[in-house]
């Protein structure tokens, strides 16, 4: 049971870190878009 629990935690950690990468990517993407938009004005 403990082995399965450990695997589940590792799986959740992988999803968590992947989600963080995606969120950071999109945040930076939109920040750059907004900065570029305002710099053109």
The one-character DSSP state at 35 is H
Cβ-count burial 8-41 (b if 16+ within 10 Å, e if not):
eeeeeeeeeeeeeeeeeeeeeeeeeeeeeeeeee
**pLDDT averaged over every residue in the chain:** 93
pLDDT score for 1: 60
Q: What is the pLDDT of residues 13-29, one digit of tens each?
A: 999 999 999 999 999 99
Q: Is the pTM of this model over 0.75?
A: no
pLDDT of residue 21: 98
Whether residue 32 is predicted with pLDDT greater than 70 in this model: the reply is yes
What is the C-alpha separation between 32 and 13, in angstroms, rounded? 28
- State the Cα angle at 37 between 24 and 27, rounded to 5°: 10
Domain boundaries, the chain: 1-41
């Amino acid at each position: 049971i403990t082995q399965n629990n450990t695997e589940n935690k590792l799986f959740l950690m992988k999803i968590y870190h992947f989600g963080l990468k995606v969120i950071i990517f999109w945040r930076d993407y939109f920040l750059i878009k907004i900065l570029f938009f305002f710099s053109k004005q």
